Structure 1
Amino acid sequence: MIRPDLSLPIPETITSAHFIGIGGSGMSGLAKMFLDAGIRVSGSDRADSDSLRALAAAGATVHVGHDAAHLGDADTVIHTGAIWPENPEFVTAKHRGLHVIHRSQALHWLIGGRRLVSVAGAHGKTSSTGMLVTALQALGADPSFVNGGVIEQLGVSSGTGADALFVIEADESDGTFLLYDTSIALITNVDPDHLDFFGSEQAFYDAFVRFGDAASEAVVISSDDPGAQRVRAGLSHRTVITFGRAADADLRIDDIVTTGGASATLIYGGESARMQLAVPGAHNAINAGGIVAVLLTLGYGLTAAVRAVEGFAGTVRRLELHGEARGVHVYDDYSHHPTEVRAALEAMRGVAGSGRLIAIQQPHTYSRTQHMFREFAAVLEELADHTVMLDVYGAREDPVPGVTGELVSGAFADQANVHYVPDWQEAADYTARIAREGDCVVTLGCGNVYQIIPQVLDSLRRPVED
């Protein structure tokens, strides 16, 4: 992993940009916006993907695998923190003296001087960003946007709009959300994570305080989340709008119903409006409250804002239905923190109804698994009827001895509620054997766990063994 060096100068002009790791959801969206701006784009990634093919069709030069020759005539090289320092393209670009900048700096350059809404938080920021973008479009606006995931009804994670408004998902994991010149800051919640970068919980909270206070117009922040309350206490900003279930919230969310798509009543300034979402889960009703508060700050009325968020159809890899076989519905969710897993499973309870809920969990990163394995086990055992535990997806980290999926499964109080299966085909076959008509299966994790879904569906379609 490469820690972003935000002190490096950002070039005034970029004519030809090369993206290392161009296939990721955030990087591919950014690359497409560079193409929209008339900039020559090339890039590489370790594996082929739909994103690479779409960028190639749009005019980018893309490569599978990393090689110094792929740099071509690029004057600027853009990278994520997920690449290794030995990456040959990164090393060669540094040796040649090219501008080498982090993706957040490239986004900062692209935003320019436009009015910026930055959506930050430990959880829910991708869905919230997608909800804000689609709501603004429903209200007749045409913002530019960069999200961390594909917005379901748009089929893209980024877009170039005609308005002077820009909406982004601002990533706190490496501190880069502090780089942007934010006008309106939305803080969904603050749950300490990424302590390998921040070093301490206090440093994590302090970063969110700086993020909020730097906003030039307003801060919109949860009234309910304990971490957000701690950040709120540290803010010195003159304009802070709170949202949530708390009685003293500026925008109050009441009477949440989670059967099917979530619904709630939103109350602001003596006015109220009933909201019916297409997406499930109390967490999405809370997310919608935050978006309505942002829309109010932008000058829209309560009823118009509520109607606008109702059209949001979700984001890819957020409680996404992938298929059904033998009466068993199979979903995928990006959840990779105990708080997110809780929100996803609570939402799935409203979807599953009387059916059972079977979770297929892939722990993400060795450091998070080592730090939070007990919390993962507790929430999975509480909310899933059964858990199929895979091995850890290491991402950018080297393996840690003893830190495997078995560490999480071993923390279950009742071992009958969990089955550790490191082999994916065995895990798919096991899931199919225990699932019955009316059940819901959901894969959980931000690694490649969604790739097991075709195996699960295939196993479900095979005749049941006695």
Structure 2
Amino acid sequence: MGDTVTGNPTLHPYSGPIDLTRPYFVGAGGTAMSALAQLCQATGSTVVSGSDATDSDRLARLRDLGCRVTVGHEQAAVEGASCVVYTTVTAHTSEVAAARVAGIPVVHRAQVLQEISKDRRLIAVAGTHGKSTTTAMIATALTALGEDPSYLIGADLDRPGSGARHGKGDLIVAEADESDHSLLFLHPQVAVVTRIAHDHPENFGGLDDHLDAYTLFAGGLRAGGVLVVDADDPTSARLAERIGKLRPDVSVVTFGNTHAATVRIESIERHGWSTKVMVTTPGDVPVVLRANTPGLHHARDAVAALTALVSVGVSAVDAAEALSQFTGVQRRFTTIGEAGGVTVVDCYAHHTNEIAADLEAAGAVAGEHRVIAVCQPSGYPRVRAFGGEIGRALADGADYAVLLPVHGGDPIPGVSQTVLGDAVAEDGGQVRFADLGNAAEVVTGLARPGDIVVLLGTGTVTDLAEPILRQVAQGAMTSVR
């Protein structure tokens, strides 16, 4: 793969043998990193250690499992480690620098995942949208089917640290991250690509760059592997065509509405907070798939999961039954609570398409009532590149858009939540500006019984759920101004 991973000069692959007897995880409290640390702890590492900038429930979970994790970054902490595991976010910490000086191997988390999974059948789930949900669907279905899989999900299932599990079966299901090109470290047996859209403008110049990255990813499938793609997504269809030519030994399996799809969606019916999907599977076998999460996008995630399960030998009927037991993952249209007739839903959505999809789902559930979107824009480069699109999605999908300051990254002059606000107003939407200190009050002043409040963003917007519910419960609702 050369000195760097294609498209991202900050990723330097470690080319030597990876010793996981004493791994040190920088940023161990992150969702994916804590999951990987748990798996190392369960698969024979003598000492698993690490750190994070702040304490968290996930660090507490790691301590309970016997991992030596601390708060704060100290150079001396890496002494005695067999390798130091990093992500793009933690690549420039003092611990990583100290490890390089000391000659301790510095290894990206995706390389550790590949090392752990090299002797097992890896199902790697990639794509711009729906990775965590689809990964969780496959993992929980395999567990329900008695396959005893291992899994690493980029989100928690029901509690902090629940996104990882070590099983005795030969299948391992993991989320593959395209944001920094690190998915190129993986060589799966099954590669699932949910959908492809332009995102992460700091690392990708456009849609063609994404297609090239996914081509390299799918091109790295093991001999006789399977590529699962969305036949209705034009860029994914181009990917399927490319891999069909580059890797004739790989089976390309598709899902979607098109008649040519391997797993064909015949209809999708909404039933409140759930959906029923009628699909036709190979051999023209009709199957009813029930998704216990609202929204057309979650229904398609369920079909992607079913297609992946069929590709590893599960019958379509059994796969559909197992998937019906899935109840969702944290921060993916998760209902936090209800007070005074107002429901608060937490969403990790930060891309235009994700925001539009979650608001569409909220609107379908709300019916004649209103949707109030509380959006904390994620990252200045994304706001600069997509702020107008996001604003229009908010205007189209929400009755009110409450905009918070941009979360994460270094400020860029002229880039703020105002970019979104201007687009909302230009599209005829209603906008309010707030911060974390007064957002709950602003939302409570707008909300009426029956409304759905949707928290959108990757950052601290999730912390507003409890204050909003508390204020609504206290009878603080006022008439809309």
TM-score range relative to shorter protein: over 0.9
The 8 Å contact of residues 144 and 161 in structure 1, kept in 2 or not, is answered as yes
Counterpart of 2:4 in structure 1 is none
Deviations 1:162-220, CA, capped at 9 Å, x for gaps: 11111111111111111112111111111121232133432211111222233231111
Deviates more, 1:415-424 or 1:120-129: 415-424
> For the residues of structure 2 that align with 1:297 and 1:116, how far apart are their CA atoms?
12
Identity, in percent, stands at 35
Q: Does 1:182 align with 2:204?
A: no
Deviations 1:397-448, CA, capped at 9 Å, x for gaps: 2100111111111112458733342422322101001101111101001122
The 8 Å contact of residues 4 and 102 in structure 1, kept in 2 or not, is answered as no
1:131-142 alignment runs, 5 A limit: 131-142=137-148
The 8 Å contact of residues 340 and 475 in structure 2, kept in 1 or not, is answered as no
Deviates more, 1:409-418 or 1:108-117: 409-418
1:3-402 alignment runs, 5 A limit: 4-39=10-45, 40-83=47-90, 85=92, 87-152=93-158, 156-216=162-222, 217-235=225-243, 236=245, 237-238=247-248, 239-260=251-272, 261-268=274-281, 269-394=283-408, 397-402=409-414
Q: CA RMSD in A?
A: 1.9
Q: Size of the alignment, in residue pairs?
A: 462
> For the residues of structure 2 that align with 1:185 and 1:458, how far apart are their CA atoms?
43
Deviations 1:18-59, CA, capped at 9 Å, x for gaps: 111000000001011111123211111111110011101111
Q: Does 1:436 align with 2:448?
A: yes
**Paired residue type of 2:64:** A
Deviations 1:340-377, CA, capped at 9 Å, x for gaps: 11111112223223321100001101001010011101
> For the residues of structure 2 that align with 1:372 and 1:333, how far apart are their CA atoms?
18
Counterpart of 1:403 in structure 2 is 415
The 8 Å contact of residues 356 and 438 in structure 1, kept in 2 or not, is answered as yes
Greater than 6 Å deviation, 4+ residue runs: none
Is there any run of 5+ residues in structure 2 with no aligned partner, and where? 1-7
Shift of 1:6: 4.1
**Paired residue type of 1:404:** S
The 8 Å contact of residues 281 and 344 in structure 1, kept in 2 or not, is answered as yes
Shift of 1:140: 1.5
**Paired residue type of 1:146:** L
> For the residues of structure 1 that align with 2:48 and 2:262, how far apart are their CA atoms?
45
Counterpart of 2:460 in structure 1 is 448
The 8 Å contact of residues 339 and 473 in structure 2, kept in 1 or not, is answered as yes
> For the residues of structure 2 that align with 1:415 and 1:452, how far apart are their CA atoms?
27
> For the residues of structure 2 that align with 1:460 and 1:77, how far apart are their CA atoms?
46
Counterpart of 2:5 in structure 1 is none
> For the residues of structure 2 that align with 1:206 and 1:231, how far apart are their CA atoms?
9
Classify the secondary structure of the residue corresponding to 2:156: strand
Deviations 1:311-332, CA, capped at 9 Å, x for gaps: 1111111011111121101110
Shift of 1:271: 1.1
C-alpha change, 1:391 and 1:415, in structure 2 (3 Å) is farther
Q: TM-score, normalised by structure 2?
A: 0.92
> For the residues of structure 1 that align with 2:181 and 2:91, how far apart are their CA atoms?
19
Shift of 1:264: 0.9
**Paired residue type of 2:422:** G
> For the residues of structure 1 that align with 2:431 and 2:41, how far apart are their CA atoms?
47
The 8 Å contact of residues 173 and 194 in structure 1, kept in 2 or not, is answered as yes
Deviations 1:228-281, CA, capped at 9 Å, x for gaps: 123223222432111011122111112101232011101022110112221111
> For the residues of structure 2 that align with 1:162 and 1:153, how far apart are their CA atoms?
22
Classify the secondary structure of the residue corresponding to 2:329: coil
Shift of 1:62: 1.4
